[in-house]
């Protein structure tokens, strides 16, 4: 065991503050990583404030962060994919049982025995796992991703959650050249969805409540922008979409979007409103439309996504902050005052 610097919250109402946490010595299969950047995901904030207490209560102190890029500093004797000095990334998962049907299908994110990057029981040290708001971490090689060398690291960090969360359903529902794809909500997830849909060759339409986002949506790769309050604008698109990704986590009516789908079209939810959504059965029945959900992606697909980003030079649009500004960043995140993801420069932790 060794100690490393980190930022943690002591309770649901405490700000994040500098601390020291233990990490295991790398085993034969482990990669020790010096963390260079960690993105701030909305899940970090939910967990820090124990807002998902009914599904996954937070154990304190919590060290959040699951959008991690860094450099391997030490590798175990059985590690084959990494050597010291290599770029390395870690997303939302650090372990799973490897034996269940989901794991065998490469869908570790659905494993009943998965270990999340933070706030999951830690099989090695006891207590819970600590995430990426820290200087160093140790992860089983099977859950460490390779980072294409052409990607800017600050913007690459959010690919590990916001990126895979939007990439995976598009691959599953076969978004490709010639398809018409909608993106609802232009935030951390939505802006990545626009980039991916564009790079996959789709005709991309962004739905937004704020006309002020139009220019930005076009810059990110949208072909059209529809202000969702304008029913006339919405009506023009009825029955025409192959796929719509809904990244809105606030309460909202999804039926107008279901009606925009063509026959066999799919609306996938990646935002998670706390209250159940009302769905018109008619809207689904009349055109054999699909409504589904998606949650991050498996390890192999996450690697595929990173390689795709390398080939297309895709990263998140980030505002880089020192860790000392993390509490301020949380407040701004709640007001959607970030374009489009915060990325923490972990070098700042050295002076914490």
Interface with Zn ion (CB under 5 A):
41, 43, 96-97, 100, 103, 111, 161
In DSSP terms, 207 is beta-bridged to 184, 226
In whole angstroms, the minimum distance from the beta carbon of 298 to Zn ion comes to 10
In whole angstroms, the minimum distance from the beta carbon of 249 to Zn ion comes to 11
Cβ nearer to Zn ion, comparing 222 with 306: 306
Are 188 and 158 within 8 A, CB to CB?
yes
In whole angstroms, the minimum distance from the beta carbon of 105 to Zn ion comes to 9
Are 193 and 269 within 8 A, CB to CB?
no
- What single string gives the DSSP state of each residue in 211-236? GGGHHHHHHHT-SEEEETT-HHHHHT
Cβ nearer to Zn ion, comparing 87 with 111: 111
Cβ nearer to Zn ion, comparing 28 with 97: 97
Cβ nearer to Zn ion, comparing 202 with 314: 314
Other Cβ atoms within 10 Å of 183 Cβ, number? 33
Locate tokens 């020192």: which residue?
Answer: 322
The residues, any chain, with a CB within 8 Å of residue 102's CB and separated by 6 or more, are 96, 108, 109, 110, 111, 112
In DSSP terms, 143 is beta-bridged to none
In whole angstroms, the minimum distance from the beta carbon of 180 to Zn ion comes to 28
In DSSP terms, 90 is beta-bridged to 68
Cβ nearer to Zn ion, comparing 79 with 116: 116
* Coil/strand/helix, residue 37: strand
In whole angstroms, the minimum distance from the beta carbon of 24 to Zn ion comes to 21
In whole angstroms, the minimum distance from the beta carbon of 103 to Zn ion comes to 3
Give phi and psi for 264, each to the nearest 5.
65, 15
Cβ nearer to Zn ion, comparing 161 with 305: 161
Other Cβ atoms within 10 Å of 235 Cβ, number? 11
């Amino acid at each position: 065991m060794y100690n490393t610097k980190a930022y943690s919250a002591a309770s649901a109402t405490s700000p994040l503050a500098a601390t020291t946490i233990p990490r295991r010595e790398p085993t034969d299969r482990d990669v020790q990583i010096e963390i260079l950047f960690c993105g701030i995901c909305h899940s970090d904030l939910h967990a820090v404030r124990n807002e998902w207490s009914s599904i996954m209560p937070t154990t304190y102190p919590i060290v959040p962060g699951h959008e991690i890029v860094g450099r391997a500093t030490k590798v175990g004797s059985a590690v084959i994919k990494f050597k010291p000095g290599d770029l390395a990334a870690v997303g939302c998962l650090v372990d799973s049982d490897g034996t269940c049907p989901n794991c065998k299908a490469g869908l570790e994110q659905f494993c009943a025995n998965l270990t999340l990057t933070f706030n999951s029981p830690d099989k090695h040290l006891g207590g819970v796992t600590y995430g990426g708001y820290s200087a160093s971490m140790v992860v089983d090689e099977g859950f460490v991703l390779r980072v294409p060398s052409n990607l800017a690291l600050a913007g690459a960090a959010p690919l590990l959650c916001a990126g895979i969360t939007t990439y995976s359903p598009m691959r599953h529902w076969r978004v490709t050249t010639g398809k018409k794809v909608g993106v609802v909500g232009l935030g951390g997830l939505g802006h990545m969805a626009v980039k991916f849909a564009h790079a996959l060759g789709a005709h991309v339409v962004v739905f937004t409540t704020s006309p002020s986002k139009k220019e930005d949506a076009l810059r990110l790769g949208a072909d059209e922008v529809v202000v969702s309050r304008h029913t006339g604008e919405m009506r023009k698109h009825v029955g025409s979409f192959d796929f719509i990704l809904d990244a809105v986590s606030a309460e909202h009516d999804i039926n107008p979007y279901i009606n925009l789908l063509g026959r066999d079209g799919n609306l996938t939810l990646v935002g998670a409103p706390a209250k159940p959504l009302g769905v018109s059965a008619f809207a689904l029945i009349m055109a054999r439309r699909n409504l589904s959900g998606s949650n991050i992606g498996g390890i192999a697909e996450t690697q595929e996504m990173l390689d795709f980003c390398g080939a297309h030079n895709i990263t998140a649009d980030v505002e880089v902050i020192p860790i000392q500004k993390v509490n301020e960043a949380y407040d701004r995140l709640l007001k959607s005052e970030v374009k489009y993801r915060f990325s923490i420069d972990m070098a700042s932790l050295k002076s914490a």
